[in-house]
A and B are shown apart, each in its own frame.
Chain A
Amino acid sequence: MTETRLRIGFIPLCDAASLLIAVDKGFAAAEGLDIELIREVSWSNVRDKLNIGLFDAAHLLAPVAIASSLGLGHIKVPIVAPFELGVNGNAITVSPQLHAEIVEAADGNVLDPLVSARALARVLEKRKRIGAEPLAFGMTFPFSTHNYQLRFWMAAAGIDPDEDVRLVVLPPPYMVESLASRQVDGFCVGAPWNSVAVNLGVGCILHFSCEILAHAAEKVLAVRARWADENPDAVIRLVRALDRSAAFIEDPANRREVAALLAASHRVGVAAEVIERTLEGRLKVAPNGGTRTDKRYLLIGHNGAARPDPVQAAWLYAQMVRWGQASLSEDLLAAAKAVFRPDLFDAAPHGNYANVTVPADRIGAFAGPVFDAEDITSHLNSWAISWAMKQR
């Protein structure tokens, strides 16, 4: 087998695990892939370096792969995703003060996202009455699941995320500091940053993102569509290496070793113990010590999770339309769905993973009608709050 050299960019987050472990445990080398991993500081960098060919592949936010393919917010470069690196894994964290206000305003258990969102709406109304500044929430990128999950949650209770709150992009490493210094009142971010905020006593985890959406594509392995066409063999080998890596990560017997490898400073660079809890879906949610466990918190390769699902791409595209980032057309919808390539995943044999049930509509949102990827117009029409509605 000829040795293939690949340069792959990543952001230090727990959901880069399949990629990092594929290199560190030799699954890539076993496929004849000599991978150079490059740790990056921003999604813009990852996107640009992938687009212009400095990277052969990248750990990328699923919506950025779609935005790049549609030419939204930036130059148009068609991207394809043969492997989903992570499903779910985000959380919404708020300051202890805001948490207390939400609990006080709640008409039920705040573990229910509809109850917490309604309570937040009341908190915002009260602030408006007394003329206080609107609350600010941090998220990681305009085209990010974090942005869409925050908006989806808030809008379910009648909050207009473009009018009633301020949504600001913050690099994940700055989230905790911004919450501590009251520049933001809450944020939605991936692991490990929610836990870091809780450990420092500056935040309470309000929701795991899997409580908002049971099954949400988070990060993909992204390659240029042209590169995939020109290097079909490398794509298959890469998928196979990632697949073996994901199966290795899934095995609880390997968890400690995986966490230790990911904790290295040139990988994710946070305490192994925090990574281990993330992989187990067991998070400390409040500074005073309460924990919450959900095996759906972050899915790495669990049955079906690694296989790209065009329904997920359709849902993400629908959010782009809902919030005014993209126009609505059948062509764009088809182009978005074509980014997720289950056929490329299926071309490589895949292993057996722990079983996690997938919701009937493959999204499992806590509010609204079931999602139908063939009819996103009715999905969009079912929301009282959306950018499109305001244009009418």
Chain B
Amino acid sequence: MDASLNIVIVDESPVRAAILENGLREAGYRNVVRIEGTTNLLARIYGIDPDVILIDLENPSRDVLEQMFQVSRVVRRPVAMFVDQSDSASIQASVDAGVSAYIVDGLKKERIKSILDLCISRFNAFSRLQNELEQTRSALEERKIIDRAKGILMKAKNLSEESAYALLRKTAMNENRKIAEVAQSVITAAELFK
């Protein structure tokens, strides 16, 4: 590991960028800079003169970085894509995780393998976290919809809460639908009959 490598993170998600930065610092990398915004991106990157640039794949600014490979008077030193032709497993893993890495030419692949591995695992962890949050959120939403439908049924059919729920569940099973979907239909119907 090379603690003195200059690492730049370009990520539109500030939370994920912070997670990544922390991970790199914990791993012992001292020079990690997060870049925010898109104004004069290339000039700011040249100003930092990084050895490694990490960018999320949902970031349109990725195309801006491709200009670093061009023959141009603003380029101070050549930059090459980390993953070369011999390393398709690496490129596949990083694209799957949603991150791309660029390094300066001449830097040995082995020296930054640990950085890329860390990126991939943090990006994957972040998206797992997001999925869990999303699931929790939709479970909460469903709960609310079912509660409202129960209330409507209790009032309209003079049922107990338990019987209202049993009715929703039975209908869902008969129609091979989710309880939340049946509940939504009840709410929609109730709105129409208002």
Give A contacts to B, CB under 8 Å: 41-45, 48-49, 52, 54, 73-76, 140-142, 162-163, 166, 168-171, 173-174, 181, 183, 323-325, 387
- In the complex, the answer to whether A171 meets B73 with C-beta atoms within 8 Å is no
Give the contacting residue for B58; candidates A41, A54, A181, A387; CB below 8 A: A41
Contacts of B63 in A (CB 8 A): 42-44, 140-141, 169, 171
Pair A325/B70 contact, Cβ less than 8 Å: yes
A73 to B78, CA, bound (A): 11
Question: Chain A contacts of B17 at CB under 8 A?
Answer: none
Q: How far is the CA of A162 from the CA of B70 in the complex (A)?
A: 11
- A residues within 8 A CB of B88? 52
Could you tell me if B60 and A169 are in contact, using CB atoms closer than 8 angstroms? no
* Interface residue ranges of B58-88 to A (CB < 8 Å): 58-67, 69-74, 81, 83-85, 88
Chain B residues whose C-beta falls within 8 Å of the C-beta of A41 in the assembled complex = 57-60, 62
A48, B69: Cβ atoms closer than 8 Å: no
CB-nearest residue of chain A to B42: A168
CB–CB A48/B95 < 8 A: yes
The answer on a CB contact under 8 Å between B85 and A169 is no
Q: How far is the CA of A48 from the CA of B82 in the complex (A)?
A: 13
Q: Is the CB of A169 within 8 A of B91?
A: no
Closest to B73 in A: A162
Q: How far is the CB of B99 from chain A (nearest CB, A)?
A: 12
Measured CB to CB, the nearest residue on chain A to B64 is: A169
Closest to B61 in A: A171
List B22-43 residues whose CB lies under 8 Å from chain A. Answer: 38-40, 42
Contact A44 B62 (CB under 8 A): yes
**B91 touching A142, Cβ below 8 Å:** no
B residues in contact with A142, CB < 8 Å? 66-67, 69-70
Q: How far is the CB of B117 from chain A (nearest CB, A)?
A: 18
Asked if A75 and B83 sit within 8 Å, CB to CB, the answer is: yes
Bound Cα distance A142, B92 (Å): 24
Contacts of A323 on B, CB cut-off 8 Å? 71
Some 21 contacts from A to B, beta carbons below 8 A apart, are A42-B60, A42-B61, A42-B63, A44-B65, A44-B100, A48-B91, A49-B95, A54-B95, A73-B69, A74-B69, A141-B66, A168-B64, A168-B67, A169-B42, A169-B63, A169-B66, A169-B67, A170-B64, A171-B61, A324-B71, A325-B70
Compute the total of residue contacts between A and B using a CB distance below 8 Å: 76
Q: With contacts A142-B66, A168-B64, A171-B64 known, what are 6 further pairs, Cβ within 8 A?
A: A41-B62, A44-B62, A171-B63, A174-B38, A181-B39, A325-B70
Which residues of A have CB within 8 Å of B64? 168-171
A225: min CB distance to chain B, Å: 15
Given A42-B59, A141-B66, are A75 and B39 neighbors across the interface (CB < 8 Å)?
A: no
Q: How far is the CA of A232 from the CA of B89 in the complex (A)?
A: 27
Instruction: Return A226 CB to nearest CB of chain B, in Å.
Output: 13
Chain A nearest CB, measured from B184 CB (Å): 23
Query: Quick one: which of B39, B62, B91 contacts A52, CB cutoff 8 A?
Result: B91
Of the residues A43, A48, A163, A181, contact of B100 by C-beta under 8 Å: A48
B158 to chain A, nearest CB (A): 44
Identity of the chain B residue whose Cβ is nearest the Cβ of A142 in the assembled complex: B70
Say yes or no: B81 contacts A74, CB within 8 Å: yes
**Residues of chain B within 8 A of A48, CB atoms compared:** 91, 95, 100
B103-131 vs A, CB cutoff 8 Å, 1 = contact: the mask equals 00000000000000000000000000000
Say how far B59's CB is from chain A's closest CB, in angstroms: 7
CB <8 Å contact, B60 and A171: yes
A387–B63 CA distance with the chains assembled, in angstroms? 22
* Bound: A52/B95 CA distance, A: 9
Which are the 6 A-B pairs with shortest beta-carbon distances? A171-B60, A42-B62, A324-B71, A169-B67, A44-B62, A41-B60
- Residues of chain A with a CB closer than 8 A to B65's CB: 44
CB-CB under 8 A from B84, the residues of chain A are: 75
CA distance A1 to B81 in the complex (A): 42
Question: Which chain B residue lies CB-closest to A172?
Answer: B60
Q: Contact at B72–A45, with CB atoms within 8 Å? A: no
Selected contact of B71 from candidates A44, A49, A76, A325, CB within 8 Å: A325
Shortest C-beta distance, A119 to chain B (Å), equals 25
Name the distance in Å between A292's Cβ and chain B's nearest Cβ. Answer: 29
B32 to chain A, nearest CB (A): 23
In the bound complex, how far is the Cα of B58 from the Cα of A170, in angstroms? Answer: 15
- A168 to B45, alpha carbons, bound, how many Å? 14
- With both chains docked as a complex, state the minimum distance between the C-beta of B104 and any C-beta of chain A, in angstroms: 15
B167 to chain A, nearest CB (A): 37
Q: Closest B residue to A144 by CB, please name it.
A: B63
Residue in chain A with minimal CB distance to B72: A162
Q: How far does the alpha carbon of A324 sit from the alpha carbon of B71 in the complex, in Å?
A: 7
Give CA–CA (A49, B92) in the complex, Å.
9
